[in-house]
Amino acid sequence: MSRRRTAAEAHRRTPLTRERVLAAALEMIDEGGLDRFSMRRLAARLGVDPMAIYYHLPGKAAVLDGVVEEIMSEFRIPAAEGPVEQLRAVARAYRDLLRRHPNALPIISTWPIQTTRAWGVLEEILEQLSRAGVNLANAVAIMQIASGLINGLALAEVGPPPGGVPDRSTEEKRAALSAISPERFPHLAEALARGGVPDMDEAFDLAIDLLIRGLLTPEGRLPGSTPAPPEP
């Protein structure tokens, strides 16, 4: 008996659990994206009849809920001093999470969070901002604004192309840019000649800085945050 067959039979004998289903679903999405994900293919990967999955999760929507939960459970928020630095730390940690799962970006950025473990991540973010002195209403608004910005930046940086169409090669992109006419597009051509699109890490830091500056009150605080007590 071949090793491959032995491993496959051992895989089929492993009891099916919700955790095992979700782990396999996330692996599939990480490997091939949402366009190649289906319940039939998930069952084949697990070595079970498709109906067996429904004993643990009632349908595809529940599986996708769980995939978002699995990804969000990886989120770790580093401690930081003060509300501004805490917001910056949360933003960077969230970006790191998205970049670890580029093929799952469409679902992370658009799928509503529906599970207890995923809600726990949002609770932790709000708690961190609250500890930093930001009131709850403003903390929720700041979290929504920041996540929308970071989702968009991540989709532009590492997100899969829409519709499952393969992305162009680096050579094809360079060829398209080199064809830009300086006479017709003088500003664009000059910008490209000066280096074009900035480094994505630098662009991300700039975007978060601009967001924070736009949020700060004239006193230099996040809206709804309490001023620091005067020094004795």
Which phi and psi (to 5°) does residue 159 adopt? -70, 150
Structural domain contains residue 223:
no
Domain end call among 72, 103, 121: 72
Structural domain contains residue 161:
yes
Based on the domain organization, do 154 and 93 belong to the same domain?
A: yes
Structural domain contains residue 2:
no
Based on the domain organization, do 102 and 53 belong to the same domain?
A: no
Based on the domain organization, do 57 and 126 belong to the same domain?
A: no
Q: Are 151 and 108 in contact (CB under 8 A)?
A: yes
User: How high is the mean pLDDT of the chain?
Assistant: 83
More confident residue, 216 or 207: 207
Based on the domain organization, do 130 and 96 belong to the same domain?
A: yes
Element housing 130 (H / E): helix 116-131
Domain end call among 16, 41, 72: 72
Burial class (CB in 10 A: 0-12, 13-18, 19+), 89: middle
Based on the domain organization, do 65 and 88 belong to the same domain?
A: no
Domain end call among 41, 72, 103: 72
pLDDT at 6: 52
Q: Are 30 and 101 in contact (CB under 8 A)?
A: yes
Structural domain contains residue 105:
yes
Cα 158 from Cα 152, distance rounded (Å): 10
Model pLDDT for residues 166-193, shown as the tens digit of each residue = 666 667 766 777 778 888 888 888 887 7
How many domains, the chain?
2
Structural domain contains residue 224:
no
- In the predicted model, what is the mean pLDDT of residues 4-8? 49
Q: What is the pTM of this model?
A: 0.79
Based on the domain organization, do 108 and 185 belong to the same domain?
A: yes
Cα 55 from Cα 127, distance rounded (Å): 35
Under the banding of pLDDT at 50, 70 and 90, the label for residue 228 is low
Structural domain contains residue 222:
no
Model pLDDT for residues 86-100, shown as the tens digit of each residue = 888 889 999 999 999
Q: Are 111 and 117 in contact (CB under 8 A)?
A: no
pLDDT at 7: 45
Of 123, 27, 23, the closest CA to residue 70 belongs to: 23
Burial class (CB in 10 A: 0-12, 13-18, 19+), 164: exposed
Query: Residue 48's domain is classified under what CATH number?
Result: 1.10.10.60
Based on the domain organization, do 137 and 174 belong to the same domain?
A: yes
Range of the domain at 40: 8-72
Based on the domain organization, do 98 and 180 belong to the same domain?
A: yes
Cα 109 from Cα 106, distance rounded (Å): 5
Based on the domain organization, do 65 and 90 belong to the same domain?
A: no
Query: Residue 199's domain is classified under what CATH number?
Result: 1.10.357.10
Under the banding of pLDDT at 50, 70 and 90, the label for residue 160 is confident
Based on the domain organization, do 59 and 162 belong to the same domain?
A: no
Cα 68 from Cα 112, distance rounded (Å): 9
| H, E, C per residue of 124-156 | HHHHHHHHCCECHHHHHHHHHHHHHHHHHHHHH
Q: Which residue has the tokens 């998205």?
A: 98
Structural domain contains residue 37:
yes
225 beta partners: 134
Long-range CB pairs of 182-185 (<8 Å, 24+ gap) are none
Residue 161 pLDDT > 70, yes or no? yes
Residue 79 carries which DSSP code? -
Based on the domain organization, do 89 and 193 belong to the same domain?
A: yes
Residue 4 pLDDT > 80, yes or no? no
Based on the domain organization, do 199 and 139 belong to the same domain?
A: yes
Structural domain contains residue 138:
yes
Cα 110 from Cα 154, distance rounded (Å): 13
